[in-house]
Amino acid sequence: MPLVNLKPVLREAKAKGYAVAAFNPVDYASMKAMVKAAEELQAPVIIQTSAKTINYYGHAALIGWMREIAGDSPVPVVLHLDHGKDLDMIRKCVDLGWTSVMIDWSDKPFDINLATSRQIVEMAAAANVGVEAEIGQILGVEDDMVVHEDESHLTDPSEAEKFCRELDLAAFAAAIGTAHGYYKGEPKVAFDLIGEINRRTNTPMALHGGTGLSDEIIQKCIKLGCAKINISTNLKHVFIDSFIDYHQKNKKYEPLHVLGAQYEALKQLFKEKIAQFGGTNRGSELKSKVA
């Protein structure tokens, strides 16, 4: 089926009590491994391109690859823009076929963030594209932008309520104690805050910084209303380690063999995450609702 809008996918996941895995691809083969992993488990999946990846390959190459890989996939696949800060880049994603975009103006004052996010929601809705928006800044490094502990503040639930009441969002991202990158020590996830935000916004929450969270934390977050879980750092490590490991063991200069081993290692990671978040066998049921 063609790429699908994020909104109905997450509404359904939240209603059924599971989360859809969202992975940041780094090349054609990692995208293909994501879709294949989802197909093998009959699950929905979100492929989310970062601004850095778009700047590297260009919009046209990425949408071309996605249409080739997922255009006739039997499972629902969303193509999403992660942490969109540049409005021209966001508009181009909407125009060229992304089915979801994130507007992240969380480093701006609340009213400016709200007004800009509203513009994006209106533009995206006209093209049947879902929108994720954020308030409160999430800790860590995303696309070379660093948010230090002293700059990161947890999301205010009354601001979250106002933000989500005024915007028809597919997903809401909040600073709730998780961080981009690997955790040093035990992450301090604010479960009460997640629960309160979900009660007050009734909008599926996107959990950023999914790499390195224990299964217990993940399951608790899903129960509290997180319907999209982002995995990026994990993938970067498997991408590089699998390549090096294969070469060190085999010492042959056969690029396609190395790439094949890397592809299998990535697919395995994606399947583990999709299954852990409860996505297995949700694809066909969901397909009828998003088509």
Q: CB of 134: closest distance to Zn ion in angstroms?
A: 8
Q: How many CB atoms lie within 10 A of CB 193?
A: 20
Catalytic entry in 72, 82, 107, 150 = 82
Measure the CA–CA gap between 142 and 83, rounded to whole angstroms: 8
- Token pair 């040093």: residue: 184
Task: Give whichever of 24 and 201 is closer to Zn ion, judged by the CB atom.
Answer: 24
Q: CB of 208: closest distance to Zn ion in angstroms?
A: 3
| DSSP letters spanning 8-54 | HHHHHHHHHT--EEEE---SHHHHHHHHHHHHHHT--EEEEE-HHHH
Task: Give whichever of 41 and 104 is closer to Zn ion, judged by the CB atom.
Answer: 104
* 128-147 positions binding Zn ion, by CB under 5 A: 142
- Amino acid letter, residue 24: N
267 touching Zn ion, by CB under 5 A: no
Q: How many CB atoms lie within 10 A of CB 287?
A: 17
What dihedral angle (degrees, nearest 10) is formed by the CA atoms of 122, 52, 76, 100?
A: 0
> By CB under 5 A, how many residues form the interface with Zn ion?
2
- Annotated catalytic residue 156: no
From 202-210, 214-222, 252-260, 281-289, span contacting Zn ion (CB under 5 A): 202-210
Residue of the chain from 208, 271, 273, 282 that contacts Zn ion (CB under 5 A):
208
Q: CB of 180: closest distance to Zn ion in angstroms?
A: 5
Q: Which residues of this protein are in contact with Zn ion, per CB under 5 A? A: 142, 208
- Catalytically active residues are 82
